Amino acid sequence: MKAFITGITGQDGSYLTELLLEKGYTVHGLVRRPENLPYGNLAAFVADESIYNERLFLHIGSFEDATHLRRLIVRAQPDEFYHLAAQSSPRVSLELPETTVESVGMATVRLLEILRDLDHPPKFLYASSSEIFGSPPHSPQDEGTPVIPSTPYGAAKAFSMQMARIYRSAYGLQTCSAILYNHESVRRSGGFVTMKIARAAARIKAGLQQRLELGSLEGRRDWGWAQDYVHGMWLMLQQEAVDDFILATGRLHSVQDVVRVAFEAVDLNWQDYVDHDAALVTAVEPTSLCGNPGKAQRILGWRNTVPFEEIIRRMVRHEAGKIPA
């Protein structure tokens, strides 16, 4: 089996690469900055001569160059295609709506058009987001919940998801979308609030940082373990007839819960170190984004296996381990 992954160097892309290589796949990935490969999430594979350029092939490219992208995909001839790459911040999307729509929405359409022209199109998975629901009328959300995004990011994700459905019904492509709720790991980038908190707790304990500034602590999210979600995406493409699924835990926790668990992990009282910064409060804040994973549990046999508290503790331990003794 051969797979093609966009966003291969990110949290999800790197875990998916590991999973697929373990299962005997040949993996192709699209990268923008090859100079970062020796230091990033794929560093171990890039350094392994038995894998890199043998079973793992990384191609320089961008979604703006559709001709080059077409050439790469035609040469790779993948059986499965995982489209994970995009601008990933709802907050940033409010400042850069045009860039967000281009990188999230139009990039997906370009990919689908390329796949439509292939003699043997691969199964295609789009990594959608709970942000498509905005402030939903009920909680938890399921696959039938109305799509009413409240940010350009959510709107662009919804557009891409609907286009994937159209290509499935109109052109007969095996396309589907994973509606992903927040999922974390030690590979989360520092731009996400969970890693910002975990890193700060570790640094404050080590005396390298004095304070942590956050926006609202009241925001609540459905947080799961990233490797489980990657496994769910793979399970989706193993179905004879692909379909859309929500991947979530069905449990809500607040930002304050993240802070409390992170600081408890290093034996500190969070209230002694955390300050409120009104400038960090998002103008449009989705509420009650809690997913119902029932369909994925029933059809795919999928589960989130790592509890919320353990996820945060793992992130803090990992960040603490990076600090020189």
Residues designated catalytic: 129, 131, 153
Contact by Cβ (8 Å): 241, 211: no
| Amino acid (one-letter) located at 239 | Q
Contact by Cβ (8 Å): 27, 79: no
Dist CA 289 CA 210 (whole Å): 32
Q: Which helix (H) or strand (E) holds 300?
A: none
Among candidates 11, 44, 5, 45, which has minimal Cα distance to 228? Answer: 11
Please count the helices (runs of H) and the strands (runs of E) in the chain. Answer: 12, 13
226 exposure class (CB count in 10 Å sphere: 0-12, 13-18, 19+): buried
54 exposure class (CB count in 10 Å sphere: 0-12, 13-18, 19+): exposed
